[in-house]
Every structure is written in structure tokens, then in C-alpha cells.
A and B are shown apart, each in its own frame.
Chain A
Amino acid sequence: MGAIYILWLRELKRYVRSRAQIVASLGQPLLYLLALGFGLGPVFQKSGNGSYLQFLAPGVIGMTVLFTSIFSGLGLLWDRQFGFLKETLVAPVPRISIVVGKTLGGVTVALIQGTLVVVVCLIAGFRPINLIAIPRAFLFMALIALVFAGLGTAIGSKLQDIQGFQLIMNFLVMPIFFLSGALFPLDHLPKAMGVITSADPLSYGIDGLRGSLIGLSHFGLLTDLVVLCAVAVVLLSFGSYMFSRIEI
């Protein structure tokens, strides 16, 4: 227990102290929200889909949670690089508590970051349908964070060098984001695209967020919930397994 707590606290302290990074990481969602939200807004409206900002905000919130949580898992790369990983691996605690502490830390940070973006969205003019939308959205944010913290840990355990990071970024993280329906509706897609998007776990996360926040859901909230829980269990187990096999 002590180990889980102290490693969770470490992630949190690292986050809170990197103020410049917090501000910087708000830049990207803000850009999407403003440039796309207001830029594509008129086109979206003309095609009879309503406000694009309303549609886009849950996608941008989901994107933030995706990036923050997957990077927290990939943070293992830096821990390996700067040596702190060794300090934890040689300690007399089970590896599972190390990975749990680290993952919970990553999830907490992703939720804080997600909350900041929710606030930014509200300032930009986004309006959720009602008040219970917010706690429901948090549930989905937490699930997205768990899924991708697990994936990040699995990859971070396997990857040996920082160069691999760019590869993961371009061929995994960005596709997960772009093919999730964060930016466009999943209805009436070409068939192949439809198959790909429904294989992307983030699609269910974004759909859950959108369903909770503006009442617009493609798969249905229950499906979203079940799929995300299942994927979270699988990826967290896989991540812990990969972590338990790290050798230094």
C-alpha cells in the first residue's frame, strides 16, 4: 500500500511542479477547439448537424485524456533513461504495486488535465445538456485514462529507446485519435472506415463522453461502458504483465 501511495504521489508532484508543461499542454486542445470549432463550424451547421463546437468539445476532452494517460505510461521510457526505474525495480516491493501506483498516478493526472480542458470548453461556449452530464463524463474520462495508461505501460515496458517514441506517436497515438470520431460523426461512414473506427477503443470513450455531455451517441452508452471496461481490464493486465518482465 505504501509503495502504491508514494509512487502515485510522485506522479502527482511531478505534474503539479511542471507548470510550464501544464500550460503548454493546454495549447493543443485549445487550438483544435478554436481553429476547428469555429473554422469548420459554418460548414457543419450548413450540412444540418447543429453546432460543431458542441460536437467537437467531447472529442477534444477525450483527446486530452488520451494523450496524458498514454504519455504517463510511456513515461517509463524516461524513468529507464534517467535511472529511477532501477530504484523502484530493486526495492523489496511486488512489481504489481509499482505498476499500480504509477498507473493510478497517470490516471489522476489525466483526469486533472481533462478537467482543465472541460473548463476551457465551457469558457469557449460549450454547454452540456444538464448537470448530471458532468459526473457521467468523468466516469468515461477515467475509463479512457485507464485504457490508455495500460497501453502506454505495455509499450513503455517493451520499448528500449526514445527514438521508438516518435514511431509510437505517429503510427499509434495519432491514428487512435483521428480514427475515433473525435472530429467527425461516425454515422454514414464508408464501410472500411466504419470497421476501423469501431475497432478503436477511443471511439467508445469519445462516444461515451459525447453521449453523456450532449446526449448524442452512436453506439449507445451501455455498449460504450461495457467495451471500455473490457478493454481496460485487458490492457491493464497486459501492461502489468509486460512491466513484470522488464529486465535492466
Chain B
Amino acid sequence: MIKVKNLVKTFGEFTAVNDVTFEVRQGEIFAFLGPNGAGKTTTIKMLTTLMRPTSGTVELDGLDPQRKQREARRRFGIVFQDPSLESELTAFENMEIHGVLYHVPRKLRIERTEQLLRMFELWERRNEPVKRFSGGMKRRLEIARGFLHTPKILFLDEPTLGLDPQSRNQLWTHVKRLNETEGVTVFLTTHYMDEADRVAQRIAIIDHGKIVAQGSPAELKEQTKSDSLEQAFLALTGSTIRDEAASSTDQMRQFVKMWRR
């Protein structure tokens, strides 16, 4: 379903993604793990038409996402690391906008919106503006929205960041269920190793832009002779802390939080 070959992305001198090759099979839940700044989000951006690779090839369901941008976009859904909802509008309206942008026929759009909002326990509050939702509810809405146009692949970039264990648990239960019932391929990143261990069939670990290990959770544990995936992860990527300088975007986010509402 996803084929990545010798993918490279450089920003000036810095190589963010360095000759990455992997494959994700149809219907699989695939976890892409790595420390901060390892190249996860850059890879996702290249997979989802948002960034042009410096070199190498990407294939999504047989399509080159750069050449057949629009066809490729119809085939996947994405939940970004940071929120991407229109918070002044209601949950239902957010689903509506998404459905229209993805050309879902009206009748189907309404049916699926109800089905997904019920499943993610948001149906009762569908007519409330999103700005009144809690962090967990917003995340659920974004994931429900990602499923609306029945994508073949769903990208989840750290979807459980900042959620409590209850919400995280429930979220993965739903994602797993939709993976089973609709056969959607899931490509996820997370920093919670227990989640990856629980939901993913296969895992790739990236560090400094290179894939350092690939396989099922059991295989990775065996390879590193660890009891848990977390230990395996630390064995593969070392235990030094990666400091990411706060980007100007983060600073701006703080500024806006101060002045708006």
C-alpha cells in the first residue's frame, strides 16, 4: 500500500531523512517510531504530498503522490500533530466541510458523519462549536473526520499527544476497530511505546534520518533482547535526550494564546 525507496530530504546542509526504505502492506497498522527530530514528521509530509522529496520514490496505492497529487490525496486521510479544526464552527460543520472538500456525496456524507460521530461519542455534541471541546474530544473529532471519506490509508502523526490514558486507550480501540471493519491501512507515529506495542503489527524505528530497525514488536524485542518495546527502543536509539529548539511557530503559538480569547 505504501512503498518508500531510498527517500532523502535535505534542508541546506542538514539531512532530515537519509536514504529511507520501507514498505507498508495493505490493511496493516504500521508504527513509525523515533526520538524527537528523527525525521518522522518530514517523512509523513513527503508521503502526504506536503513536501517534495530531495530524492527517492514514494508510492501510495500505486500512485506517485507528487505527480498524481489529487488522486493520491483522495486515497488517504491524515491527522496532523497539531490541531487542524475550524474551532468557530461545530463538529458537524467541520465534518461537512471535510466531506465536501473530499467529494463525498451528500447522502453518504450525512450517513457516515452520524456513524463516525456516534462511534467517537461526539454525536450528542455535534452542534456545539469545537472551541468548547476538550483536547480529547478535538482529537476524536479529527480522527473521525480523517475516516469520513473512507480513505485507504490513514496517517496519524502523534494522535495521542497530551491525552489522558483513558482517551488514548479508547482512541486506539476505535482506530483498531475501523482498521478491522474497513480494512484501512494505518500509518502512525507515537512516543508511547506501549501503544505501538499494542496496536501495531509492524514497526520501523528511525533515528537521525535513518531506519535503524524494522519488524514486528516481538521481533524488535527479540533482536535487542529486551522485555518491553520501550527498552528495545532505547537500546536502538540510545538514551541521550534530543533537544529541539523551540521553533518560531511555537513561540507564535504562545503569543496568540495570550492575545486571543
Residues of chain A whose beta carbon lies under 8 Å from any beta carbon of chain B: 2-3, 5-7, 10, 13-14, 17-18, 78, 81-94, 160-163, 247-248
Instruction: Write out, one digit per residue, whether chain B residues 221-261 have a CB within 8 A of any chain A CB (1) or not (0).
Output: 00000000000000000000000000011011101100100
Q: Is B83 an interface residue (CB 8 A)?
A: yes
A sample of 26 cross-chain residue pairs with beta-carbon separation below 8 angstroms, ordered by A number, consists of A2-B100, A2-B103, A6-B101, A7-B97, A10-B93, A14-B86, A81-B256, A82-B83, A83-B84, A84-B84, A84-B86, A86-B84, A87-B85, A87-B98, A91-B101, A92-B69, A92-B74, A92-B103, A94-B70, A160-B252, A161-B248, A161-B255, A163-B252, A163-B255, A247-B51, A248-B50
Report Cα–Cα, A84/B87, bound state, in Å: 9
Q: Is B189 an interface residue (CB 8 A)?
A: no
Contact A83 B82 (CB under 8 A): yes
Residue of A nearest to B80 (CB): A86
Chain B residues with CB under 8 A of A14: 86, 88-89
Contact A91 B73 (CB under 8 A): yes
The secondary-structure label for the interface of chain A is helix
Select one of A7, A84, A87, A161 contacting B252, CB under 8 A.
A161
A243 to nearest B CB, angstroms?
15
A162 to nearest B CB, angstroms?
6
Chain A residues with CB under 8 A of B87: 82
Select one of A13, A17, A91 contacting B102, CB under 8 A.
A91
Residues of chain B whose beta carbon lies under 8 Å from any beta carbon of chain A: 48-51, 69-71, 73-74, 78, 80, 82-89, 93, 96-98, 100-103, 129, 248-249, 251-253, 255-256, 259
Report Cα–Cα, A248/B49, bound state, in Å: 11
A10/B86 contact (C-beta < 8 A), A2-B100, A90-B78 known: yes
A54 to nearest B CB, angstroms?
38
Contact A90 B73 (CB under 8 A): yes
B222 to nearest A CB, angstroms?
38
Report Cα–Cα, A148/B48, bound state, in Å: 33
Chain B residues with CB under 8 A of A2: 100-101, 103
Report Cα–Cα, A93/B48, bound state, in Å: 14
Chain A residues with CB under 8 A of B259: 162
Chain B residues with CB under 8 A of A88: 101
Residue of B nearest to A13 (CB): B89
Report Cα–Cα, A81/B129, bound state, in Å: 18
B132 to nearest A CB, angstroms?
13
Residue of A nearest to B82 (CB): A83
Residue of A nearest to B49 (CB): A90
Residue of A nearest to B70 (CB): A92
Contact A18 B88 (CB under 8 A): yes
Chain B residues with CB under 8 A of A162: 252, 255-256, 259
A92/B252 contact (C-beta < 8 A), A10-B89, A83-B84 known: no
Report Cα–Cα, A76/B71, bound state, in Å: 26
Chain A residues with CB under 8 A of B73: 90-92
A20 to nearest B CB, angstroms?
11
Contact A93 B88 (CB under 8 A): no
A6/B248 contact (C-beta < 8 A), A82-B87, A91-B73 known: no
Contact A10 B78 (CB under 8 A): no
Contact B85 A83 (CB under 8 A): yes
Select one of B71, B88, B253 contacting A17, CB under 8 A.
B88
Contact A6 B252 (CB under 8 A): no
Report Cα–Cα, A85/B80, bound state, in Å: 12
Residue of A nearest to B72 (CB): A92
Report Cα–Cα, A161/B102, bound state, in Å: 29
Contact B253 A81 (CB under 8 A): yes
Chain B residues with CB under 8 A of A81: 252-253, 256
Report Cα–Cα, A232/B85, bound state, in Å: 31
